[in-house]
Structures are given as C-alpha cells and as structure tokens.
Amino acid sequence: MSDTTRAGAGREATAPSLAARLPGLSALGPLLALILLVALGAYLNENFLSAGNITNVLARSAFIGMIAVGMTFVITSGGLDLSVGSMAAFIAGVMILGMNALLPTMGVGVPLILAGMGLALGLGLLAGLGNGLLVTKARIEPFIVTLGTMGIFRSLVTWLADGGTISLDFGVRQFYRPVYYSGLFGIAWPILVFAIVAVAGQIAMRHTRFGRYCEAIGSNDKVALYSAVNVERIRLMTYVLLGLLVGLATIMYVPRLGSASGSTGMLWELEAIAAVIIGGTALKGGYGRVWGTVIGVLILSPIDNILILADLVSPYLNGTIQGVIIVLAVVLQRGKSSSA
C-alpha cells in the first residue's frame, strides 16, 4: 500500500508544470481552513481584525514564516532539518555577543547593525553548509544529522549564555529596535521581509531550474542523477538557503527582545515543518508548494491569539485546540485531493 502511494506521489511530482497550471481543488483545503479560522476569530472578538492585532500576529509569525519557506525547499528535495530553532538561538546569541564586542570600536550606529546582520547571515550560511555537507558528503540521514546539530546549537547557546540570558547593550538595542517595531507604509518590517521571501521562494520553486531540480530529486534522486542533475549540489544548496533564511529570521528577531537564551527558538523547527506540511508539500519530498507554506504559517500563527482573545477553553487545553486545527487543515487538503 505504501508503494502505491509513493508511486502516486512520484507521478504527480514528475509533472510539476501540470500541477502548477491547475490550481486544483487540493490546493484550496488550507486556504479554506484559513478563511474559517479568520471568520471564527472575527466572530469571537471584534479586536481580532484590528490593525494592531493583525500586525502583532503577522510580525511574530514572520520568523517561522521565513524559516518555513526555506524548509519547503529542503523537504521538497527529500530532506529535513530539525536544527533550525536551535540554530536561530545560537545565531542570535553569537550575533548579540559580536555586536556587544564591536561596540567600543564602532560605536552605536548603522555600521554596527550592518556588521551584526552580516555576522548572522554568515553564521546561517556556515551552519547550513555544515548540515548540508554532513548529509551529502558524509551521507548521513538528514534526520540524524540535524538531530545532532539541534543538540549542539542548543547547548552552545546555553554555554555562551552561562545558563542565563545574553542581552544586547541597551544603547544598541534602542537603535536597532525599529527593525522589528517600525515599518514602511504602516506595515511592520518583519511582515515586509517575510512577504519578499515568500514571493522570491514561490518564483524560485515554480520558475527556476533550482526549484524543478528540488522536486525531481525529492521525487526520485536516482532518476534525477541519470538526468544529469547534480543531486549533491542541489541538496547542499537547499540546506545553505535554509541556513541563510534562519540568519535572516534572526536579524528580525533580535531587535524584538534584544536577548537570546537557552529557550530562544524552542520548537520553531516543528512549527516550520507543520506549516510546510499543512501547506500541501509532501513530507517525503517530490512536491513543494511555497505559497501553501505561507498559508500554513498563517493558519498556525493566529490560533494562540484567538484562544487568548476568546477565553473559550481552559488554558490547559490550548495545545489540544491547536493540534485539532493542524490535523483538520491537513484532512481538508487530503479530502479535496482524493476527490480531485
């Protein structure tokens, strides 16, 4: 039975242009779930659709969003990355320590912030490269590699923080703060950056060779290899891309609370993977849908918000409601898929 489903997924994936041309009923499932959720939120509390609340919810989901877009490419090409949450915490920690160390020589100003941002992106690139090389050159299962690096990054940040919290210098923080809290035309920067990443991701997945190769490799890496696709290089690139996006997410995250600790980015990896799967990307690879991932993020992020605004159930049960909505979103998508 699993063989037939795998073959089915493969067939679907080898014809991505067809899937792209037909928006298909299967694609509407997550969108339907999102519309239901927003309607429910608006019905339960009049403030749900207020500009302030929408900005809050979208801005704080932007970190997961950027990471989830990168995760879509990794999963589509048949990989997985469990280390992203720890990686974000580690990058945030080193970035803050780096900026604090540079402060006496550079002073508070744009160059210092740019140096911090460069450091974050550089670290993200290196971390992604490390994961990617272990997967492609050392040929270790992605699950194992990233489970290992997840533990490594998490304990490194705890060690750097001496078990406590690493805090950005107060003056630098005041200067850097607008990167999270301010924006352009009333739209917060994290939301804008997430939107740009999402659009670029969608284009890369649908309209570039890189995106097509990701699907081909995830669908059947042997066939891709015989079709002269450089499988190792593409796989490596997906991890590097994800690492860079984790670095970018960290750049937007640090100005929010100006600190990093052992509990920063806890469970982000699972939220990102959940968003990718809710959005309709196949967990075993071969078919990726970046805009679906964006909808997945938008479904996950307001659940907590609605539960707090509404006082519906005991706070102990919030996790249950979240779980039910996640499963429901996937069921809606699969139900439509089989009927189509």
Q: Locate all alpha helices (DSSP H) within the chain, ordered by sequence.
A: 2-14, 16-21, 28-44, 51-76, 84-106, 110-136, 142-160, 170-176, 178-181, 189-207, 209-219, 221-226, 231-257, 268-278, 290-310, 318-339
Among 262, 280, 285, 288, binds other proteins (CB under 8 A): 262
- What is the rounded CA–CA span in Å between residue 179 and residue 10? 43
- What is the rounded CA–CA span in Å between residue 99 and residue 190? 21
Of 46-54, 198-206, 284-292, 326-334: span binding other proteins (CB under 8 A)? 46-54
Size of the site for other proteins (CB under 8 A): 31
Of 154-162, 191-199, 207-215, 324-332: span binding other proteins (CB under 8 A)? 154-162
Q: Is residue 263 close enough to count as binding other proteins by CB under 8 A?
A: yes
H or E element, residue 261: strand 259-261
C-beta of 262 vs 285, nearer to other proteins = 262
Among 4, 21, 52, 185, binds other proteins (CB under 8 A): 52
Of 3-11, 25-33, 42-50, 233-241: span binding other proteins (CB under 8 A)? 42-50
Q: Is residue 161 close enough to count as binding other proteins by CB under 8 A?
A: yes
Do 234 and 77 form a contact (C-beta atoms < 8 A)?
A: yes
Among 256, 284, 328, 337, binds other proteins (CB under 8 A): 256
Among 164, 171, 178, 335, binds other proteins (CB under 8 A): 164
- What is the rounded CA–CA span in Å between residue 32 and residue 243? 31
CB 86 to other proteins: min, Å: 11
- What is the rounded CA–CA span in Å between residue 307 and residue 305? 5
- Which residues sit at the interface with other proteins, rule CB under 8 A? 45, 47, 50, 52-53, 56, 60, 158, 161-165, 167, 181, 256-257, 259, 261-264, 266, 304-305, 308-309, 311, 315-316, 318
